[in-house]
Amino acid sequence: MTEPLDLYPSRIGGETRILPRKEPVVHGPRPTGDGPLSDDDLEHFERRGFLALEGFLDAEETAALREEATALRERRAGSEAPEVIIEPGSGEVRSVFAIHRSRATFAALARHPGLLGAVTQILGEPVYVHQSRINYKPAFRGREFYWHSDFETWHVEDGMPRMRAVSASLNLLDNHVHNGPLMLVPGSHRNFVSCPGVTPERHYEQSLRRQEYGVPDPEILEGLVQRGGIEAPIGPPGSIVLFDCNVMHGSNGNITPWPRSNAFLVFNALDNALVAPFSGQPPRPEHIASREHVEPLEIGGRG
């Protein structure tokens, strides 16, 4: 079998390089026709790499998800399960993965008509969940998530061939300027940052706590920010941010009394299903990157 062409080589030694994006940002037709996103929404997403939608879920829907997330964190405190990621130093739960497969409320969120309709408009074809997780950022002790492009990791470590995936970050608590909100670099999705170094074996065991590989050089980050700036789309519970898989993003630590928690769902186009990791290493576990559970999501269905 012919090895797939690596369109975005990264972590092959050497220095950071900037490579042009080789596929569209928005794959769906224009004008939009049916769907929750307007042409202006899609133009905004295409140009900036993300779209913030305040009040995407109502208070009742959000409260049910928040309660489930809180209970999940409390049950998983001190857990050694592989899908539970613990903050270095504090022992707090940092992330819980595969929530759409373990919790009915988050499985339903993945099939929410507005959410599924929006990502299908962007990606232009049926989708499945590549990855899901809750990120917790506790008061006073929540650690930062350093600048990175998700696609760089998913390409190198998971074998995602092309940039045809969208992440949805749902606020379960207030995200404001002080408690370490998601920050994005507008326009950074239009180029691929090829990172230096070589991926260590079983890198995910450390990178989900603190990422050291797949991180651009400071000079590259400075250039991206000088061109695009930094935007933090804050909002109350129930707000959502849709962002392209290749946009540069991160978040500061939280030293405030206000915790922050967000549910993440990553939707990948069916024809962009994973191949062998381009690092040449074994694939990451299923709870981090879906290979076996690749079925199209249907509104109200079980996909």
Q: What is the CATH number of the domain that holds 150?
A: 2.60.120.620
Q: What is the mean pLDDT of the chain?
A: 90
Task: Provide the pLDDT for residue 112.
Answer: 96
300 compared with 50, residue with greater pLDDT:
50
Over residues 240-269, the mean pLDDT reads: 96
The verdict on residue 4 lying in a domain is: no
Q: For residue 73, is it within any domain?
A: yes
Report the pLDDT value the prediction gives residue 202, as an integer from 0 to 100. Answer: 65
In a domain, 75, yes or no: yes
* Span 232-237, average pLDDT: 95
Name the percent of the chain lying above pLDDT 90: 70
- CA 209 from chain center: how many Å? 15
The per-residue pLDDT for 205 is 56
Residue 172 belongs to a domain: yes
Q: 278-291 b/e with 16+ CB inside 10 Å = b?
A: bbeeebbeebbbbe
Mean pLDDT, range 3-19, rounded to an integer: 86
Say yes or no to pLDDT of 299 above 80: no
Between residues 8 and 79, which one has the greater pLDDT? 8
How many other CB atoms are found less than 10 A from the CB of residue 277?
19
Q: How far apart are CA 274 and CA 293, in angstroms?
A: 11
In a domain, 260, yes or no: yes
62 found inside a domain: yes
Question: Per-residue pLDDT for 102 more than 80?
Answer: yes
Residue 122 has pLDDT above 60, yes or no: yes
pLDDT band, very low/low/confident/very high, at 79 (cuts 50, 70, 90) = confident
Helix (H, G, I), strand (E, B) or coil at 148: strand
210 has a pLDDT exceeding 60: no
What pLDDT score was predicted for residue 303? 46
Average pLDDT over residues 11-21: 87
Residues 152-175: what's their mean pLDDT? 96
Average pLDDT (217-243) is: 95
Q: List the domain range (segments joined by +) for residue 154.
A: 17-33+49-272
Q: Would residue 266 count as lying in a domain?
A: yes
Alpha carbon distance 163, 157 (integer Å): 14
* Domain count within the chain: 1
At 206 the pLDDT is: 58
Is residue 301 assigned to a domain?
no
